[in-house]
Amino acid sequence: MNLHWILFDLGGVLYDIDVQQPIQMLKSLSRADLDGQTEDFLYQEHVQFMKGKYSPEEFFARLKNTLNISLGIEEIQQIWDKIILNFRNEFKPVLAGLKLHYNLALVSNTDPSHIKKILAQVPEFPYFFNRIFLSYEMKKVKPSHEFFITVLKEIQADPAQCLFLDDSEENVEAAQLVGIHGERVTSYSDVIAVFKYYGIQTNF
């Protein structure tokens, strides 16, 4: 198989995340009556944040005001950023080695607050990749057809020459619909197994 590009998701693949912790913390702090729809509200607002509809200041102000939380904006942001845990360091040598033989791209549904925290934790993170596609900059999110078509146009690649790794089956299926080789992975061992299946060397 003649692969030219390997496309990596971020959270749940290269980075450990915990979505539930900040959601539960915000729910416990909320004094608003949303008829049990707090989680739905947070999900929908985050999708808009990841689409670049809000600045960080606007997003956290919306959480504060709608949920009626007494904390300040910065404190709410600190809670929100608890979603981001740690970079999976075992990927560092693998990414460095892969980049010698393949083009690597990051393709992530994310927001500017989370990216800021990631860059503070791992300043060299952008240098692992040839291209970086962040949903809030693209104004599009996975699993939309437009997201993957935009990525393919930007990297000028045949989808059959691309391998996409994501922890969401829905995102993987969307990539496959445009002709990209997509595989669901949730751990380092999953990724290595996929690479072995595709004949990608990993003993760097």
Please report, rounded to a whole number, the percentage of residues in the chain having pLDDT higher than 70: 100
Last residue of a domain, one of 53, 83, 113: 83
Last residue of a domain, one of 83, 107, 132: 83
Q: Are residues 99 and 190 in the same domain?
A: yes
Q: Are residues 66 and 103 in the same domain?
A: no
Instruction: Specify if 202 maps to a domain.
Output: no
d(CA 169, CA 159): 18
Last residue of a domain, one of 33, 60, 83: 83
Q: How confident is the model at residue 1 (pLDDT cuts 50, 70, 90)?
A: confident
Q: Are residues 65 and 142 in the same domain?
A: no
Tokens encoding 69? 């939380």
Q: Are residues 33 and 51 in the same domain?
A: yes
Instruction: Specify if 44 maps to a domain.
Output: yes
Q: Are residues 26 and 108 in the same domain?
A: no
Max Cα distance, the chain (Å): 56
Q: Are residues 146 and 119 in the same domain?
A: yes
Instruction: Specify if 203 maps to a domain.
Output: no
Q: How confident is the model at residue 111 (pLDDT cuts 50, 70, 90)?
A: very high
Q: Are residues 111 and 187 in the same domain?
A: yes
Domain extent for 90: 5-17+86-197
Report pLDDT digits (tens) over 119-172: 999 999 999 999 999 999 999 999 999 999 999 999 999 999 999 999 999 999
Q: Are residues 126 and 68 in the same domain?
A: no
Write out the E strands in the chain. 5-8, 15-17, 84-87, 103-108, 131-134, 162-166, 181-184
Q: Are residues 75 and 90 in the same domain?
A: no
pLDDT, position 131:
98
CATH code for the domain in which residue 56 is found: 1.10.150
CATH code for the domain in which residue 95 is found: 3.40.50.1000
Q: Are residues 90 and 142 in the same domain?
A: yes
d(CA 26, CA 183): 33
- Looking at the structure of the chain, the number of domains it has is 2
Q: Are residues 112 and 29 in the same domain?
A: no
Flag whether pLDDT at 203 surpasses 90: no
Instruction: Specify if 56 maps to a domain.
Output: yes
Report pLDDT digits (tens) over 7-36: 999 999 999 999 999 999 999 999 988 777
Give the count of alpha carbons within 13 A of 123, CB side only: 0
Q: Are residues 175 and 128 in the same domain?
A: yes
